[in-house]
Structure 1
Amino acid sequence: MTIHLELDAGVALVTLDHGRGNTLDTATCRELVLQLGEAEAAGAKAVVLTGTGSMFSAGVDLLSIDEGGAGYVSEFLPALSDALLAVFGFPRPVVAAVNGHAIAGGLVLAAACDHRVLAAGPARLGVTELLVGVPFPIAALEILRCAYGTNPLPGLIYSGATVPGEDALARGLVDEIAPAEEVLGRARELATRLGELPAEPFALTKAQLHRPYHQRIAENRVSDDDGVERMWCSEAALAAVKSYVDRVLRS
């Protein structure tokens, strides 16, 4: 199992546990959707999303893409969007305990949450897809837009830069920083407090806030994702992924 679910005092702790970077592959994305469904069915008042070890998530599992090629990409991309939307659309409060690096899809996953608590320390945050040569699915872009606004997106995305914690806080990528040993406790404390808000009014208010982004995703997902899949499956993109994997992940 690549996602662990623990329910304690009404708060569901959902923990990513896949590979050395808590990366997102098809199975992990599908498991995240299932575990969030389990949390909702169990009556969780709020969710804390975190990663194992010193990494929140390094984003897409490029090893799986390198090994699986275009056929794998075709099944992975919809699963990735579904997982991001399961977090973004969860009707109860979701707090990210960002326990370490949040890179590329990992930062999008944090952005899909309602509040982000970052562990003080060496963590870096950023979206690096364009450096690998692939575009974002529309769901990822709209989640980033909702969390951070339209104007900051070009600077965040085009550069592919990653920033340390204090810069991430100043740029609004996270909402607060806590000592590493306290980040999970702080996230749980906040989730508990938010979870005490009336469930139906909270769910409706969250849906209202997110509605423009969900609408753009629904209107454009099929056509945009076709283009995204074509580019991810291109020889150039797969070669770039292979080069990165060989240079960084298999070295």
Structure 2
Amino acid sequence: MIEVETSGEITVVRLAHGKVNALDLELCREIAATAREADAGRAGAVVLTGSGRAFSAGVDLERVMSGGADYVEAFLPALSEAFRALFDLGKPVVAAINGHAIAGGCVLAAACDHRVMAEGTIGVPELLVGVPFPAAALEIMEYALGPVAARRAILDGRNHPAAEALALGFVDEVTSQETLLERALAVAGRLAATIPADAFRHTKRQLHAGAAGRLGAETETARLWRTAAADGRIRAFMDRTVAARRAPESSQD
């Protein structure tokens, strides 16, 4: 589900959960636990990456639909906790975006201090799915992109290839797949080596203070997710997405 290894003074956390590292209850809990362990551990920095063709394709919508209201009640707090645990990690955290980072996957990347992207697309299509953002996700996106860019990205809902993502501020730099991990490790190592750990942790807490202070109850968010799991809007979005992917293949026949 998650692979953890050490590269010098850096902890490398690799999502390895199914074909696209979809966020379900178990993976979210594991992300939160791993982030807390990394924060308390001896490593000076963390690199977060994915496996296969995705960094993370976001929430496992099939699981949401099949699990219904009871699953949503357990899942949403775990999702927010995963976002918060990564966002609050007091050491330098660098995202090595190896492939698609969609919806919740994009939020995970945005929760990191620096984002390096190689392939795939990145974006936040939650509203197109028909569900609202958890408060933690909204605050993280606004922190990462700024209020105006975050509003545009959230209401637009498009996914962007690497060059567009760089221009729009979703990522800090773009590199090749072959050099992705090397570059992420270099950035993480530089941050850990040049900034004293206590100063980094304190400054990161200061930078995040506004977002942390605005986080509140999620009761209405949970209600709307339960509704979406039952009323067909998630299924309609998934059907549209599959149809759009198949359209180019059909046009070549």
TM-score bucket (shorter structure)? over 0.9
Q: Which residue of 2 aligns with 1:86?
A: 85
Partners of 1:70 and 1:245 lie apart in 2 by 19
CA RMSD across the alignment: 1.7
1:143 aligned residue (140, 155, 164): 140
Partners of 1:80 and 1:104 lie apart in 2 by 12
Contact 2:128 2:237 in 1 (8 A): no
Q: Which residue of 2 aligns with 1:230?
A: 223
CA offsets 1:10-56 (integer angstroms, 9 cap, x no match):
20101111121111111101101111222233311100000001211
Question: CA 1:96/1:109 → structure 2, altered by over 3 Å: closer, same or farther?
Answer: same
Aligned: 1:76 with 2:82: no
Q: TM-score, normalised by structure 2?
A: 0.91
Alpha-carbon offset, residue 239 of structure 1: 1.3
Contact 1:96 1:187 in 2 (8 A): yes
Contact 2:130 2:228 in 1 (8 A): no
Partners of 1:153 and 1:85 lie apart in 2 by 18
1:213 aligned residue (204, 211, 235): 211
Contact 1:231 1:237 in 2 (8 A): no
Contact 2:228 2:234 in 1 (8 A): no
Q: Which residue of 1 aligns with 2:165?
A: 168
Q: Which residue of 1 aligns with 2:153?
A: 156
Q: TM-score, normalised by structure 1?
A: 0.92
2:122 aligned residue (121, 125, 128): 125
Partners of 1:10 and 1:160 lie apart in 2 by 37
Q: Which residue of 1 aligns with 2:54?
A: 55
Partners of 1:96 and 1:235 lie apart in 2 by 30
Contact 1:23 1:59 in 2 (8 A): yes
Q: Which amino acid aligns with 2:204?
A: K
Other structure's SS at 1:151 match: helix
Q: Which amino acid aligns with 1:43?
A: R
Partners of 1:104 and 1:98 lie apart in 2 by 14
Q: Could you list the runs of 5+ residues in structure 2 that have no partner in the other structure?
A: 247-253
Aligned: 1:200 with 2:193: no
Q: Which residue of 1 aligns with 2:234?
A: 241
Contact 1:66 1:245 in 2 (8 A): no
Aligned: 1:24 with 2:51: no
Deviates more, 1:11-20 or 1:31-40: 31-40
Partners of 1:167 and 1:243 lie apart in 2 by 27
Q: Which residue of 2 aligns with 1:180?
A: 177
Contact 2:131 2:228 in 1 (8 A): no
Other structure's SS at 2:55 match: strand
Partners of 1:202 and 1:235 lie apart in 2 by 40
Alpha-carbon offset, residue 248 of structure 1: 5.3
Partners of 1:162 and 1:248 lie apart in 2 by 12
Contact 1:15 1:52 in 2 (8 A): yes
Q: Which residue of 1 aligns with 2:13?
A: 14
Alpha-carbon offset, residue 233 of structure 1: 0.5
Partners of 2:231 and 2:92 lie apart in 1 by 37
Alpha-carbon offset, residue 72 of structure 1: 0.3
Alpha-carbon offset, residue 247 of structure 1: 6.2
Q: Percent of aligned pairs with the same residue?
A: 49
Contact 2:125 2:158 in 1 (8 A): yes
Other structure's SS at 1:152 match: helix
Alpha-carbon offset, residue 174 of structure 1: 0.4
Q: Which amino acid aligns with 2:233?
A: A
